[in-house]
Amino acid sequence: MPPGCEPTVALRVLTLTRECWSCGKDTVCLAGLYPQRPARGYCGLHTTDNPTTMALMQRLLQEHGHDVLAATVKSRYSRTMRERQLTNGCVSCDALQGNFPVQEEADRRVAAAGGVDGLDTLLVAACPVREWQAVIHSNDGGVMFI
Protein backbone atom coordinates (compact mmCIF):
# COMPACT_ATOMS: atom_id res chain seq x y z
CA MET A 1 0.00 0.00 0.00
CA PRO A 2 1.45 3.43 -0.90
CA PRO A 3 2.51 5.67 1.98
CA GLY A 4 -0.32 7.87 3.22
CA CYS A 5 -3.03 5.51 2.01
CA GLU A 6 -5.33 3.96 4.58
CA PRO A 7 -6.94 0.54 4.08
CA THR A 8 -10.32 1.86 5.28
CA VAL A 9 -12.34 5.05 5.12
CA ALA A 10 -14.78 6.18 7.82
CA LEU A 11 -18.25 6.52 6.28
CA ARG A 12 -21.38 8.06 7.73
CA VAL A 13 -24.44 5.87 7.16
CA LEU A 14 -27.18 8.46 6.78
CA THR A 15 -30.87 7.87 7.40
CA LEU A 16 -34.12 9.75 7.62
CA THR A 17 -37.36 9.03 9.44
CA ARG A 18 -40.55 9.44 7.46
CA GLU A 19 -44.17 8.37 7.62
CA CYS A 20 -44.90 5.11 5.81
CA TRP A 21 -47.37 5.64 3.00
CA SER A 22 -49.01 2.29 3.79
CA CYS A 23 -49.40 2.00 7.60
CA GLY A 24 -48.85 5.64 8.60
CA LYS A 25 -46.19 4.77 11.20
CA ASP A 26 -42.78 6.40 11.30
CA THR A 27 -40.10 4.34 9.61
CA VAL A 28 -36.35 4.76 9.27
CA CYS A 29 -35.03 4.72 5.70
CA LEU A 30 -31.45 4.56 4.52
CA ALA A 31 -30.60 7.76 2.66
CA GLY A 32 -26.92 7.63 1.72
CA LEU A 33 -23.22 7.34 2.44
CA TYR A 34 -20.84 10.22 3.02
CA PRO A 35 -17.25 10.30 4.30
CA GLN A 36 -16.85 11.25 7.96
CA ARG A 37 -13.94 13.51 6.97
CA PRO A 38 -14.36 14.39 3.27
CA ALA A 39 -11.42 15.76 1.33
CA ARG A 40 -11.45 19.44 0.43
CA GLY A 41 -13.85 19.98 -2.46
CA TYR A 42 -15.62 16.64 -2.03
CA CYS A 43 -19.31 17.10 -2.85
CA GLY A 44 -20.97 13.71 -3.47
CA LEU A 45 -23.61 12.18 -1.23
CA HIS A 46 -24.02 8.64 -2.56
CA THR A 47 -27.69 7.77 -2.29
CA THR A 48 -29.83 4.65 -2.22
CA ASP A 49 -30.74 5.19 -5.86
CA ASN A 50 -27.59 3.18 -6.57
CA PRO A 51 -27.72 -0.58 -5.91
CA THR A 52 -23.99 -0.71 -5.09
CA THR A 53 -24.46 1.97 -2.41
CA MET A 54 -27.56 0.27 -1.01
CA ALA A 55 -25.82 -3.12 -0.77
CA LEU A 56 -22.80 -1.59 0.99
CA MET A 57 -25.04 0.25 3.44
CA GLN A 58 -26.90 -2.97 4.23
CA ARG A 59 -23.62 -4.81 4.86
CA LEU A 60 -22.32 -2.05 7.14
CA LEU A 61 -25.58 -2.15 9.12
CA GLN A 62 -25.26 -5.92 9.58
CA GLU A 63 -21.63 -5.64 10.69
CA HIS A 64 -22.51 -3.02 13.31
CA GLY A 65 -25.50 -4.68 14.96
CA HIS A 66 -28.32 -2.95 13.09
CA ASP A 67 -29.83 -6.23 11.86
CA VAL A 68 -33.47 -5.08 12.21
CA LEU A 69 -32.94 -2.12 9.88
CA ALA A 70 -30.70 -4.16 7.54
CA ALA A 71 -33.49 -6.73 7.19
CA THR A 72 -35.86 -4.07 5.81
CA VAL A 73 -33.57 -3.64 2.77
CA LYS A 74 -34.65 -6.13 0.11
CA SER A 75 -35.09 -6.62 -3.58
CA ARG A 76 -38.65 -5.54 -4.35
CA TYR A 77 -40.60 -4.92 -7.52
CA SER A 78 -41.26 -1.25 -8.17
CA ARG A 79 -44.32 -0.65 -10.33
CA THR A 80 -43.10 2.88 -10.98
CA MET A 81 -39.72 1.71 -12.28
CA ARG A 82 -41.11 -1.56 -13.70
CA GLU A 83 -38.19 -3.54 -12.30
CA ARG A 84 -36.85 -5.10 -9.13
CA GLN A 85 -34.68 -2.84 -7.01
CA LEU A 86 -32.91 -3.02 -3.69
CA THR A 87 -35.14 -0.76 -1.58
CA ASN A 88 -36.00 0.39 1.91
CA GLY A 89 -39.04 -1.19 3.53
CA CYS A 90 -41.17 0.00 6.41
CA VAL A 91 -39.91 -1.33 9.75
CA SER A 92 -43.54 -1.92 10.81
CA CYS A 93 -45.35 -3.28 7.73
CA ASP A 94 -42.49 -3.96 5.24
CA ALA A 95 -44.14 -1.81 2.53
CA LEU A 96 -41.72 -0.63 -0.14
CA GLN A 97 -40.49 2.89 0.54
CA GLY A 98 -39.64 3.85 -3.03
CA ASN A 99 -36.16 5.08 -3.82
CA PHE A 100 -37.53 8.15 -5.57
CA PRO A 101 -39.75 9.38 -2.69
CA VAL A 102 -36.99 8.69 -0.15
CA GLN A 103 -34.47 10.61 -2.23
CA GLU A 104 -36.89 13.52 -2.73
CA GLU A 105 -37.21 13.74 1.06
CA ALA A 106 -33.42 13.51 1.46
CA ASP A 107 -32.99 16.28 -1.15
CA ARG A 108 -35.36 18.55 0.78
CA ARG A 109 -33.62 17.93 4.08
CA VAL A 110 -30.12 18.42 2.66
CA ALA A 111 -31.19 21.64 0.92
CA ALA A 112 -32.88 22.99 4.08
CA ALA A 113 -29.83 22.25 6.24
CA GLY A 114 -27.25 23.25 3.64
CA GLY A 115 -25.61 19.83 3.70
CA VAL A 116 -25.65 16.27 4.93
CA ASP A 117 -26.35 17.34 8.50
CA GLY A 118 -29.99 17.57 7.40
CA LEU A 119 -29.95 13.77 7.59
CA ASP A 120 -29.42 11.55 10.63
CA THR A 121 -26.09 9.78 11.09
CA LEU A 122 -27.00 6.28 12.22
CA LEU A 123 -23.40 5.17 12.51
CA VAL A 124 -19.86 5.87 11.36
CA ALA A 125 -18.32 2.71 9.98
CA ALA A 126 -14.87 1.76 8.75
CA CYS A 127 -15.23 0.59 5.17
CA PRO A 128 -12.52 -0.96 3.00
CA VAL A 129 -11.33 1.66 0.54
CA ARG A 130 -11.87 -0.73 -2.40
CA GLU A 131 -15.57 -1.07 -1.56
CA TRP A 132 -15.96 2.71 -1.23
CA GLN A 133 -14.18 3.17 -4.56
CA ALA A 134 -16.66 0.74 -6.17
CA VAL A 135 -19.47 3.05 -5.01
CA ILE A 136 -17.71 6.21 -6.17
CA HIS A 137 -16.89 4.80 -9.60
CA SER A 138 -20.24 3.08 -10.17
CA ASN A 139 -22.07 4.38 -13.24
CA ASP A 140 -25.52 3.55 -11.85
CA GLY A 141 -26.29 7.10 -10.71
CA GLY A 142 -27.44 7.91 -7.22
CA VAL A 143 -25.16 10.84 -6.42
CA MET A 144 -26.47 14.04 -4.87
CA PHE A 145 -24.09 16.97 -5.31
CA ILE A 146 -24.00 19.11 -2.21
Distance CA 115, CA 22 (A): 29
Distance CA 30, CA 121 (A): 10
**Domain membership flag for residue 142:** no
**Domain membership flag for residue 104:** yes
Which residues have a Cβ under 8 Å from the Cβ of 78 and sit 6 or more positions away?
84, 85, 87, 96, 98, 99
| CA distance to 1, 81, 99, 139, per residue, from 70 (Å) | 32, 23, 16, 24
**Domain membership flag for residue 1:** no
Q: What is the pLDDT of residue 14?
A: 97
Question: What letter would DSSP give residue 20?
Answer: -
Distance CA 112, CA 97 (A): 22
The per-residue pLDDT for range 6-54, each reduced to its tens digit, is: 889 999 999 999 999 999 999 999 999 999 998 888 878 888 888 899 9
pLDDT band at 2 (very low <50, low <70, confident <90, very high): low
**Domain membership flag for residue 80:** yes
Distance CA 84, CA 121 (A): 27
**Domain membership flag for residue 62:** yes
The per-residue pLDDT for range 62-87, each reduced to its tens digit, is: 999 999 999 999 998 888 778 888 99
CB 44 within 8 A of CB 110: no
**Domain membership flag for residue 120:** yes
The per-residue pLDDT for range 89-116, each reduced to its tens digit, is: 999 999 999 888 898 999 999 999 989 9
The per-residue pLDDT for range 116-134, each reduced to its tens digit, is: 999 999 999 999 999 999 9
**Domain membership flag for residue 63:** yes
- Tell me how crowded residue 67 is: count the other CB atoms within 10 A of its CB: 10
Amino acid 33 reads L
Range of the domain at 75: 8-137
**Domain membership flag for residue 103:** yes
Question: Which residue has better confidence, 5 or 27?
Answer: 27
> How many domains, in total, are found in the chain?
1
